[in-house]
Amino acid sequence: MAFRRASTAPKSHPNHARWGDAQELLELATGQKMNAELAIVGGGPTGLGASIIAALAGFHPVVFEPKEGIIDKACGEGLMPAGLDHLLRMGVNPKGREFVGIRYLDGISGRGPEGRFGSPGRGVRRLELHRALLERAQELGVKFVHAKVQDLEQSANQVTLVTTAGSWNAKHVIAADGLHSRIRRKLGIESKTPKFKRYGVRRHYQLEPWSDFVEVYWIDGAEAYVTPVSDSCVGIAMLFEPRSDFDELLAQFPALQDKILDAPFASQDQGAGPFEQRLPRHSQGRVLLCGDAAGYLDPLTGEGIAMGLASAQAAVECIVADDVLGYDDAYKRVTAPYYRNATNLLAFTRSRTMQRVMLSALRLPHLFDGILGQVAK
């Protein structure tokens, strides 16, 4: 389904009732349930993206998010070309710094191959990404309810959300409430126990980027992802197992540590994980899971935002087509490249052949460009 450009809130989709502010005030006064065409639980990038996609499709979505304002979170902050293109088509153009590809480096020697994308990606602070998405959603007339969803019940025709701001009825719900989704637990959709528990921690340095690439430094059991996010700031995200802190990890990457020296911090450390969440299904009844709430493997490919937006697009398309039963198949179709890429890269990072692979890629740069091209799509 193609996006429709819109600078103001579009007309209501013909298959859905519109509920105005006057009715909501009446329902609040009488204690009755309030109503939403489409409820979106979670106001992070996937939830906001879903609200924008839905508004452009003719819905009047309501986003439920307990936190107000711009929300920060641990994130690698590198938008791959596919994710950036998706945002631009939504009318979202976050500020940042472009990068031309990825450079994989040995964390000790600093040697390794690089690959260029066909079109650039962009390093974007998570705060800037959230701001740009929030402003676009507000421009399209998306309604926000700053409340926590405590419970939900489903019938044949609607979903009732019990929130700290009262009860709401919605014909459909998109749950985009993150890696450890409360809605997913309420639905009884359990994640399989992961074989490996990987964690992440992110820090920014006030430092002019030394490269137009995202640099990935590798050692046994951990990687460090360096992303230029402005002309005076770089973000470093560590992925590792088992648990550790940022400074302990950084000391194991002398090739990276030498480039940072005594640069001042530009943010506090933010952590996340464990990441792997493999689910048997991605919807139940009229509730569709999107983004990290729908399952995740690992952030090492940098495709998290692209995958979240792609799943949100698929969810809205299924709702428009009145085919929510088809969402599981649609989700698997749009996320298959991510799971394939992440599985392959994880296999490399956990094998003793990783260094030999990197050295071989130095001799075969065109082959490495082809591999990275699959990640960038």
Q: Which of 118-132, 233-247, 341-355 has the lowest mean pLDDT?
A: 341-355
Q: What predicted TM-score, i.e. pTM, was given to this entire model?
A: 0.86
Torsion of CA 343, 346, 348, 352, to 10 degrees: -140
User: Can you tell me the distance from the alpha carbon of 94 to that of 49, in angstroms, rounded to the nearest whole number?
Assistant: 13
Please tell me whether residue 359 adopts helix, strand or coil conformation: helix
Partners of 115 in the β-ladder: 102
- With cut-offs at 50, 70 and 90, classify the pLDDT of residue 174: very high
In whole angstroms, give the CA distance from residue 267 to residue 348. Answer: 31
Q: For 197-222, give the DSSP string.
A: --EEEEEEEE---S-SEEEEEEETTE
Question: Which position has the higher pLDDT, 147 or 28?
Answer: 147
The per-residue pLDDT for 111 is 86
Helices and strands in the chain: count of H runs, count of E runs:
11, 16
How high is the pLDDT of residue 123? 97
Question: CA 274, CA 263: separation in Å to the nearest integer?
Answer: 29
State pLDDT tens for residues 55-97. Answer: 999 999 999 999 999 999 988 899 999 899 999 999 999 999 9
In 3D, which of 186, 143, 188 has the Cα closest to residue 162?
186
Distance CA 137, CA 221 (A): 40
What SS3 class is residue 109? coil
SS3 315: helix
Q: Estimate to the nearest angstrom the gap between the alpha carbon of 172 and the chain centroid.
A: 21
The residue among 289, 292, 288 whose CA lies nearest residue 274 is 292
